[in-house]
């Protein structure tokens, strides 16, 4: 917690930081499990896209308004890369489907 706060600033509710961290870890383990099986179902893709979109939106909004440290913009950028990759994959699959591949 000390290292995290050194990077992001003091936290009034450490329990909330730990709760969000635990939830993000569960999402990460779930996505890694699907990747290892090489089987990404719609609900898994939705979990990945939705959690990346939510985290990105929160990071950007609150970092730009000064509510949280600008350090969170780096996480927002990482989440944006996840979103961009999902968009690329969906566009690629849509193109392949429409061309009959």
Task: Round to the nearest angstrom and report the end-to-end CA distance of the chain.
Answer: 50
The reported pTM is 0.85
What are the start-end ranges of the H helices in the chain?
Answer: 2-8, 14-37, 42-64, 72-98
Instruction: State mean pLDDT over 77-100.
Output: 87
Q: Where are the domains of the chain?
A: 14-98
Give the model's pLDDT for residue 4: 87
Would the CA dihedral through 29, 30, 31, 37 be positive or negative?
positive
One-character DSSP codes across 54-65 = HHHHHHHHHHHT
Please report, rounded to a whole number, the percentage of residues in the chain having pLDDT higher than 90. 72
pLDDT in tens, 92-101: 888 777 766 6
pLDDT tens digits, one per residue of 20-54: 999 999 999 999 999 999 888 999 999 999 999 99
Over residues 59-78, the mean pLDDT reads 96
């Amino acid at each position: 917690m000390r290292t995290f706060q050194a990077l992001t600033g003091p936290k009034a509710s450490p329990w909330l930081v730990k709760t969000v961290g635990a939830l993000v870890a569960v999402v990460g383990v779930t996505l890694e499990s699907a990747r290892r099986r090489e089987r990404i179902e719609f609900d898994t893709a939705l979990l990945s896209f939705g959690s990346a979109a939510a985290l990105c939106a929160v990071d950007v909004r609150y970092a730009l308004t000064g509510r949280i440290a600008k350090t969170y913009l780096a996480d927002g950028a990482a989440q944006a890369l996840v979103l961009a990759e999902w968009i690329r994959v969906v566009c690629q699959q849509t193109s392949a489907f429409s061309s009959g591949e």
